């Protein structure tokens, strides 16, 4: 009878640990870290395209120095901003997103200027860089969405019973801050699009 009780106790403890986040909480944390790496990788890819884009535009629109300089400065600030997945804070995320939002705005102004230069729009190098940039923006959107989902899954594990009990006993993880739009992105999303004929 004692043996049967011990077997049931071992099975119960194994079941308890397997269904209460013993493995799923660390796995979810690893997933968040992986998605942060993917987001920053896509932003780096965008930053790497910008010098070539600026060089091509400069060849056609060299007197647009102010806009070109704004893009270069925004790129420099964006590449300085880093996210540490192990210790993400709302302030760190806000700084990172602010820098990326400023770069997005600078690129938007650059693309508006491009409309004034039909020869530039016809340039094969510019068209290729523009297509790569558009593809990268799509990849950034997808990577950010995956990251948001990974944070939600992790936060659910550390905040919702029964896995939250395991977290409070073994890991003591806090909920991770969720990514949101930067102030620049909010402003551009609220502004109506300008249509010119």
Asked whether residue 5 carries a pLDDT value surpassing 50, the answer given is yes
The structural domains of the chain, with segments of one domain joined by +, span 25-190
In this prediction, residue 192 carries a pLDDT of: 44
* Of residues 74 and 13, more confidently modeled: 74
Asked whether residue 191 carries a pLDDT value surpassing 80, the answer given is no
Question: Which of 114-121's residues contact partners 24+ apart within 8 Å by CB, and which partners?
Answer: 114/57, 114/61, 116/61, 117/60, 117/61, 119/60, 120/56, 120/57, 120/60, 120/61
Asked whether residue 35 carries a pLDDT value surpassing 90, the answer given is yes
Asked whether residue 184 carries a pLDDT value surpassing 80, the answer given is no
Asked whether residue 186 carries a pLDDT value surpassing 70, the answer given is no
**Least confident stretch, 13-22, 111-120, 121-130, 163-172:** 13-22
For residues 150 and 32, the answer to whether their CB atoms sit within 8 Å is yes
Q: What percent of the chain has pLDDT over 70?
A: 86
Residues 63-86, mean pLDDT to the nearest whole number = 89
The CATH number corresponding to 25-190 among 1.20.1440.20, 1.10.940.10, 1.10.600.10, 3.40.50.11310 equals 1.20.1440.20
Q: What is the pLDDT of residues 44-65, one digit of tens each?
A: 999 999 999 999 998 888 788 8
In this prediction, residue 194 carries a pLDDT of: 47
Confidence (pTM) = 0.79
In this prediction, residue 19 carries a pLDDT of: 61
Closest among 71, 35, 79 to 53, alpha carbons compared: 71
The total number of residues shown for the chain amounts to 197
Asked whether residue 144 carries a pLDDT value surpassing 60, the answer given is yes
d(CA 99, CA 80): 9
**Least confident stretch, 36-40, 101-105, 177-181:** 177-181
d(CA 183, CA 190): 11
């Amino acid at each position: 009878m004692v043996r049967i009780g011990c077997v049931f106790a071992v099975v119960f403890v194994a079941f308890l640990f397997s269904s209460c986040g013993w493995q799923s909480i660390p796995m979810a944390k690893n997933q968040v870290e992986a998605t942060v790496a993917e987001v920053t990788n896509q932003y780096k890819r965008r930053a790497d395209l910008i010098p070539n884009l600026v060089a091509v535009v400069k060849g056609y629109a060299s007197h647009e120095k102010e806009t070109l300089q704004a893009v270069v400065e925004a790129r420099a600030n964006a590449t300085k901003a880093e996210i540490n997945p192990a210790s993400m804070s709302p302030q760190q995320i806000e700084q990172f997103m602010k820098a990326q939002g400023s770069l997005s705005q600078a690129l938007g102004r650059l693309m508006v200027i491009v409309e004034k230069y039909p020869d530039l729009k016809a340039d094969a190098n510019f068209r290729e860089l523009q297509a790569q940039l558009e593809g990268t923006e799509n990849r950034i959107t997808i990577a950010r969405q995956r990251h948001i989902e990974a944070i939600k899954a992790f936060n659910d594990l550390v905040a919702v019973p029964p896995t939250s009990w395991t977290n409070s006993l073994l890991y003591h993880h806090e909920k991770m801050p969720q990514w949101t739009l930067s102030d620049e992105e909010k402003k551009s999303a609220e502004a109506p699009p300008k249509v010119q004929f």
